[in-house]
Structure 1
C-alpha cells in the first residue's frame, strides 16, 4: 500500500474516534442532566405541596408569578349565548429557590419536564370560563422549564369558551368588550400574587381573522377580588371588538329599504286596481314581518330596545301605513262616488222642476202679461246683489294658495290622498333615516 492509502486510513480512524468521543460526551452530559433532576426532584428532597418562598427567599412575603400569553385564534363570538371561544398559549413564570442547580459552566441552560405534578404549581383558574380543554395531539402540549437560578417557566396550549356579557343597545353598530379573567383559587394575596410580565404580556397572532368582528385593541389590568375568605389576586385582558357593519348593511338595511319603497308602488296604481294594491301591500307586510322575525331569532331576548329594533319597527310601520293608505283611498273613492251620485240625482230633480216650471209659464203667458219695472228701487234684492258684487271686485285680490291650486287639479278626495302620499311617505322616511343614522353613529363615537 502506498503512503496515500495509509494517510486516508489514519484520517478515517481518527474521525471514528472523535465521533465516539462526542457520543460519549453527549451520553455523559445526559447522565449529568439526569443526576441534576434526581438531585433536585428526588424522593424526600422536594415537596410539590409546599409553596415557594417569596422575594429573596423570605418566608413572610407572597410568591410572585408573572403571567403572559399568546392568542392563537378567536374562533367565534356568539351574540345569542353571549360567549366567545379562544385558543391561546398560556405561560407562568416564578422562582423556586429549592430548584437551583449547577449549570455545568453554562452548558446546561435549563431542564425540561412534561409532568406538571413534579413541581409546585400556582392554582390559577379562569373565572369566566364556560368550557375548556387541553390539547393532547400528538403529545400533551405542555412543558416546564427549570433554569439554574431556580426560575420555573410553565407553558401550555388550551382552548376556552368564555362568557362575554354584551350590551346590544347599539346592535349592529356596537362595540363589545370581552374579558379573559384569571385568578387564584385557594391562595390569598398574602401567599400568592399574579403580575403581568413586563414588556409585552399579551401577543396576538398577526393574521387573526374574525367573520363579523374586528379586534381593535386589548388592554391588560388587575381585578383583585375580596370575599369572606380573603383577598385573591386576579388578572384580566379586555378585548375590544368592533362589529363589521357591511354584512348587516347588505343583509338587513338595504332589503328593508327596498321593501318600504316597493310598498309605495301602490300609490301610483289606479284606485280601481283593488286586487293589485291589496296583494302588493299584504306581500310586503308579510315579507317585512318574516325578516324581522329572522333577525330577532339570532339575538337573545333582552329587555331593552336595540338599534335594529328601531329600524325594523319603523320600516314595518311604513309598510303597514301604505296598506292602510289604500284602505283610506278605497273608502274615499266610495264616498266620492256616493256624492257624485247624489249630485247627479239633485241635478236631475232640478232639471225636472225647471222643465215643469217652463211648461207652466208657457201655458200662463197667453192669459196674463206682467209688466216689469224699468228702474229698480234701492231696496230691490237684485240691486243689492249687484252692489255687493261691485264691492267684492273692488277689494284687493288675494294671493292664490299654491297647495290648494295644485290639489284642485285632482277633483276627487281619493286621488288627492294618493298624490299626497306619494310625497309625504318618502319625505318622512328620508327624515327618519337622517335622524336614525346621525343618532346612532354619533352615539357610537361618544361611547368610544
Structure 2
C-alpha cells in the first residue's frame, strides 16, 4: 500500500473522530442544560407561588413589561358592540432566583412550555367577552429564561372584546375600541405593569378590514382603585374609521334614486290615476323596506343617528309625492265641478237671453222707461266713476312674474304639478347641502 493511501485513511479516521467528539459535545451540552434546569427549578429550590422581588432585590413591587403584536382583527360588530382580535401577547420580568451560568456565553436562554413551572403575573383582560388559546399543532406558548434571571413569556391568543360605540354620526363615524389588561389579585404594592419601551404595540402590515380602517393606536395606563386596593392596568386604544364608500353605494345613492323616481309622477298626466298611484305606493314601500333593512343591522339605541335623519327625510319626500297626487286629484275634481257649474250658468244665461228676445218680439208696442245713455257733468254717479278711473290710472300695476307664468296653466291641479316639479328638487337639494355640511364638519371637529 502506497503512502498516498495511508494519508487518505488517516484523514478519514480523523474526520470520524471529530464528528463523534462533536456529537458527544452536543450531548454533553444538552445534559448541562438539563442540569441547569434541575438546578434552578428543582424540588425545594424554587417556589412558583412566591412573587419575585422588586428592582435590585428590594421589597418593592415586581415590574412586568408588556408588549403586543396584533396579528389580525377579524370582525367589528355594530349590533353587538364588540370586536375580535388575534394577537401575540408578551410579558417580561426579572426573577433573581432564576439566574444561572451561561457556560461562557454558549447557553443563551432556557426554554419552557409549562407556565406553571415559574411564577406568572395574574394578568387578565378586563373587557374580554370570549377568548381561547391556540393548540394546533402544539400549544402556541413558550417561556424563555435568560442567564440574568429575566423571564420572557409569549403566547398567541384570540379574544372577543367589548367595544361601546357612539353611533350618532353613523356611518360617518369613528370608533375607539380599547384593549384593557389589569392585575386580578396583586395590588400595585406587589405588582406593576409597564409598557415596554420602544414599540410596545405592533400591528401586522397590510391589515385588512372590510368596513373599517385602523387609523392609529395609543397606549395608556388605567389603574383602578377598589375597596381592596389599587390595581395596575394598561390599555390600548384602537381608532377605527368607517369606510364610507360602502354605505354611499348601498344606502345613499339608492335612496336618492327612489326619491327622484317618486318625482316622475309630477310629469304624468292627471288622468293617469293607476300609474301615479302604483308609482307612489311602490316607491314608498321600497323606501320603507330599505329603512327597515338598515335598522336591522344596528342596535336599538335611544338617540338619532345620521342615517336615521337621511332615511327619515327620504321617506318623507316619497310620502309627500304620494300626498301631492292626492291633492292634485282633489283639485282636478274641483276644477271639473267648477267647469260644469260655469257651463250650466252659461246655458241658463243663454236661455234667459233667448226668452227675453222672444218677449221683445211679442211686446214690440210696449213702452219702457229708459235711462239716459249720456249723463250730465254734474251727475254724482258720473263724478264717482271719473274719480275711480283717475285712481286706477295713477297707480300702475306691477307685473307679477309668478302669476304671469302660472296663468299659462288654467287649472289648479296643473299648477300644483308644475309647482311640485320645482319645489321638491329644490328642497331636497337644500336638505343635502345642510345634511352633508353638518355631519362632515362635525366629524372634523370630533377629530
> TM bucket by the smaller chain?
over 0.9
Deviation at 1:121, TM superposition (A): 0.1
| Deviation sequence 1:301-359 (CA, Å, 0-9, x none) | 00000000000000000000000000000000001111111111111111111111122
Distance 2:123 2:374 in 1: 120
> Partners of 2:370 and 2:80 in 1: how far apart?
102
- Counterpart for residue 5 of structure 2: 5
| Whole-angstrom CA distance in 1 between matches of 2:246 and 2:360 | 85
Taking structure 1 as the reference length, what is the TM-score of the superposition? 0.97
Looking at structure 2, the residues matched to 129 and 372 of structure 1 have their Cα atoms a distance apart, in angstroms, of 106
1:389 shift after superposition: 6.5
The CA deviation at 1:399 is 1.7
Q: 1:381 to 1:411 in 2, by over 3 A?
A: farther
Query: Relative to structure 1, is the Cα distance of residues 381 and 3 closer, same or farther in structure 2, using a 3 angstrom cutoff?
Result: farther
Question: Would the alpha carbon gap of residues 70 and 5 (structure 1) be closer, same or farther in structure 2, given more than 3 Å must change?
Answer: same
How far 1:365 sits from its partner (Å)?
2.5
Moved more, 15-24 or 380-389: 380-389
Q: CA deviation at 1:8?
A: 1.7
Q: Does 1:385 align with 2:387?
A: no
Return the offset for 1:363: 2.3
What SS does structure 2 have at the residue aligned with 1:46? coil
Q: Which structure 2 residue ranges, 5 or more long, are not aligned?
A: none
Using structure 2 for the length normalisation, give the TM-score. Answer: 0.97
- Residue by residue, what CA displacement relative to the aligned partner does 1:161-188 show, whole Å, maximum 9, x if unpaired? 0000000000000000000000000000
* Matched position secondary structure for 1:291: helix
Cα separation, partners in 2 of 1:10 and 1:240, compared to 1, 3 Å: same
**Are residues 1:36 and 2:13 paired?**
no
Q: Deviations over 1:143-164 (max 9, x none)?
A: 0000000000000000000000
1:370 CA displacement: 6.6
Provide the residue aligned with 2:246 in structure 1: 247
Deviation readout 1:2-21 (Å, 9 max, x if unpaired): 32222222111111111111
Compute the displacement of 1:391 (Å).
2.1
1:179-238 Cα distance to aligned partner (Å, 9 max, x none): 000000000000000000001100000011000000000000000000111100000000
Note the C-alpha offset of 1:388. Answer: 5.3
Give, in whole Å, the separation in 2 of the partners of 1:265 and 1:158: 57
Distance 1:184 1:374, change over 3 A: closer
CA deviation after TM superposition for structure 1 residue 384, in Å: 5.5
User: Residues of 2 paired with 1:372 and 1:79: CA distance?
Assistant: 90
Q: Distance in 2 between matches of 1:122 and 1:313?
A: 53
Distance 2:121 2:381 in 1: 114
Deviation at 1:366, TM superposition (A): 3.6
CA distance in 2, matches of 1:386, 1:355: 32
Count the aligned residue pairs.
446
Match of 2:45 in 1: 45
How many angstroms does 1:395 deviate by?
2.1
Q: In angstroms, what is the RMSD of aligned CA positions? A: 1.5
From the superposition, tell whether residues 372 and 23 of structure 1 become closer, same or farther in structure 2 (CA, over 3 Å).
closer
For residues 140 and 369 of structure 1, do their structure 2 counterparts lie closer, same or farther at Cα, with a shift above 3 Å needed? closer
Q: Specify whether residues 337 and 380 from structure 1 end up closer, same or farther in structure 2 by C-alpha distance, changes over 3 A only.
A: farther
